[in-house]
Amino acid sequence: MATRLHLKLTTITAALALLFAAPAWAQTTAPSQSLQGVTVTGKAAPVLDIDRADVGGLGQTLAKTPQSVTVLGADLLAATASSSLSQIIKLDASLADSYNTTGFIEGLSVRGFLLDQGNNFLRNGLPVSNYAPMALENKERIEVLKGVAGLQSGVSAPGGLVNLVTKAPQRDAFTTVSLGADGNGGSKVHLESNTGWGAMGVRVNLAAEDLHTVFDHADGKRELASVALATNLAPGTKISADLEYHHKKQPSVPGLGLLDANGDGVADTLPASNYSRLNLNNQSWSQPFEATSTNAQFAIDHQINADWQARLGLGTQRTVAQDRLAFPDGCSSAANYVYPGLCANGDVDIYDYRSENEVRSTWAWDVKLNGKLSALGVQHRLSLGVSGRNATTELNPTQAYNWVGTTNINTPIALPGDGTTLDLNTNSRERAIDASASLVSDLTATVQSFVGFRTTRLTRSSERSDGSRAIAFEQTVTTPWAGLSWSPVASTMLYASWGQGVELEAVPNRPTKFVNAGQVLPALKSEQTELGVKWQPNARVLVSAAAFSIDKPYADDLATASGIPLRVAGGKTARHRGVELSAVGQVDTQLSLQASLTLLDAKYTTAVDPILVGQQVTNVPKTKASLFADYKIASVSGLSISGLLTAESGKTVTVDGTVALPAAWQLDAAVRYQNRLIGTLTQWRLNVENLTDRSYWREAPTQYWGGTYLFPSTPRTVRARVTVEF
């Protein structure tokens, strides 16, 4: 407790020092005049005015982009008090949870496909790993490209691509300090300062947070420090840098499982949904999950002439994780062993899992040339690029995964720990060199064509920590993309597109469950067709609709004489077909809206096991809706109210579809008041997550090693925050 208090006092002292120093810097120096202006507190309200996104890579406005793209800006994240990926997911109906729980790395599924943590995430356009908790205080917006992203990223899962755009220096100097607290006893201080050092613009974000949850033995802490720099080296040449340090330490809360109600060894019954505060990772020897991540990115932008621009980007990331918990998995106390799941009486086996010093490093670089040209009487916009990345995973020689006994979800008991590290790990390296090109052509005044491709030379290798099972392969893949759009009137665009993506899979590092444990598998291609329409009734509102079909091959398991399966690439295929509807923007001066609806049919079309064919993909809702609305009260200046309503149909839990989660809905609410306090602009916020305190099973992912887990809804949580701008 004393350590936390000292940390918080140190952080507040540093924040106050910067707070009083920033106005002095602003008086003596001015940021580069080419930097964009900003009104911070005004932007903090959900104005929903973003009209472009970098993630698509075509250089068009969102209204003229023949792609499905969602942009979640800092204003929307602040209005909903979103501080984690699982909270962000509620803002768009095409996004869904995937093994998201307190204290652990969060996953994301788009259009029913789980994104790859190492290949589907970008930071300012450069590849990064998502094997670390995400910090949002220094993010300007989160861009999500839905569907196949082979043109934009080469190797990646087909659901979509996420680009985290960090806050850049702005023209006008400002400093804000935010103090927050929640009903569980958590607290946070966040300082943001934008100023200038000579001709260089500087934007700093500092945050420290005490994490308290409703779960037993799951309190933690985190710290963030980031700085963004930008200046002009010469007329038309800008250099920028972005540095980030984020540390989080918190016990993770494992999921539960289905019950084997009739004792036949098959778990097929949902437990009651009143376990929203249970944490089975609450042994005396339980240790927190801990992750420290550092990011550094640099970019040079050069305006060659009026028509051509060039950009060079370089980024590096390093994450060190201590993955530790008392893990509930299966049940051995009944006559028939249950896996995955729990015994009928709620018994569950506990394993002491410890994987220390997991080091993941990523290097990436990107060179782009964009410009305009005229050929064959047609105007074109050409983009050429060459990029590379190198990702390594280095683990300790051995990890611990030891059975220590059986507890019960109704009456948990203390068990002895066993941290003996006996299981060998698998280290891996992936290198890729990409070449890409895209061409946007104005065929007529109302018709545009879009073509592009990316060719990737991929090298991947892995080996056990004792040097055994060394595997390496090289593969060259090309992922084309093409689209056509027609604008019958200026406010409306119809489009059709087709594209391919490519992805990698690796066999889980579990020798007792797979003959080829830890092996990397050859890359496989997915394919997407999409039809869409976009309507912009005014400059502040965009209405979109899209219909899509995606085919994705998966690895599947073949039986062997040993009884342990062999996992092979392309053993099964899933087809996801759906319709997405969305409306985003300011309806008028008082009402802001972000609404979306997704109808999705996700089924297996081929599989080694014929039972899978025609079955609904697990943990994917057929229908999901999200509605966020913010309304400014005209009679009280500075006062507004907002609400976020999410609803979804039930998700299947088992591969045969016999068990499903019930349909669920949740309502969040907020009130915001902005005024001047002693001449200082001040904003007060009160947010309530799960206003009606509904208890339900939120998701039921089946992990790649075969375990199925249940995660509950978040109980009613109240958050308060005050932000002062200087």
3-state DSSP assignment of residue 63: helix
The residue type found at 69 is V
Degrees to nearest 5, angle at CA 112 with 106 and 113: 65
pLDDT for res 503: 84
Residue 704 confidence (pLDDT): 80
pLDDT over threshold 90, residue 67: yes
For residues 387 and 436, the answer to whether their CB atoms sit within 8 Å is: yes
The mean pLDDT value of the chain amounts to 90
Backbone angles phi, psi at 468, to 5 degrees: -85, 170
DSSP H or E run through 516: none
Of 102, 256, 109, 108, give the one whose Cα is nearest residue 709: 256
List domains and CATH numbers for the chain.
2-402+414-725 (2.40.170.20)
**Positive or negative, the Cα torsion across 693, 694, 697, 698?**
negative
Name the pairing type of β-strands 113-114 and 107-110.
antiparallel
Alpha carbon distance, N-terminus to C-terminus of the chain = 32
What is the predicted pLDDT for the residue at 22? 36
Tens digit of pLDDT for each residue in 433-461?
999 999 999 999 999 999 999 999 999 88
Q: How many residues does the chain have?
A: 726
CB 628 within 8 A of CB 595: yes
Map residue 96 onto helix, strand or coil: strand
Dist. CA 385–CA 368, nearest whole Å: 4
R_g of the chain computed on alpha carbons: 26
Quickly state the pLDDT bin for 464 (edges 50, 70, 90).
Answer: confident
**516-541: per-residue pLDDT in tens?**
877 778 778 999 999 999 999 998 99
Are residues 506 and 524 in contact, defined by beta-carbon separation less than 8 angstroms? Answer: no
Strands 259-260 and 342-343: parallel
H/E element, 44: helix 40-44
Q: Each residue of 196-248: pLDDT tens digit?
A: 998 999 999 999 999 999 998 899 999 999 999 999 999 999 999 999 999 99
The mean per-residue pLDDT over the stretch 84-101 comes to 93
Cis peptide preceding 340, ω within 30 of 0:
yes
pLDDT recorded at residue 43: 54
Helices and strands of the chain, counted as H and E runs: 5, 36
Nearest to residue 202, comparing CAs of 178, 229, 180? 229
Question: Which has the closest alpha carbon to 469: 496, 501, 436, 509?
Answer: 509
Helix/strand/coil (H/E/C) assignment for every residue in 279-335: CCCCCCCCCCEEEEEEEEEEEEEEECCCCEEEEEEEEEEEEEEEEEEEEECCECCCC
Task: Kindly report the number of other CB atoms within 10 A of residue 87's CB atom.
Answer: 19
d(CA 78, CA 94): 21
Closest CA to 91 of 144, 139, 38, 132: 144
Strand partners, 1: none
pLDDT, one tens digit per residue, over 399-415 is 999 999 999 999 999 99
Instruction: Determine the pLDDT at residue 469.
Output: 77
Token pair of 302, please? 């050069």
Q: How far apart are CA 129 and CA 107, in angstroms?
A: 12
Degrees, nearest 5: CA angle 236-241-247: 165
Where on the phi/psi map is residue 539: left (φ > 0), alpha (ψ -120 to 50), or beta? alpha
Q: What tens digit of pLDDT does each residue of 1-60 get?
A: 444 434 443 443 343 333 333 333 333 333 333 444 444 444 556 777 788 899 999 999
Give tens-digit pLDDT for 546-575. Answer: 999 999 998 888 989 998 999 898 889 999
- The one-letter amino acid at 516: N
% of the chain beyond a pLDDT of 70: 94
pLDDT-above-90 percentage for the chain: 77
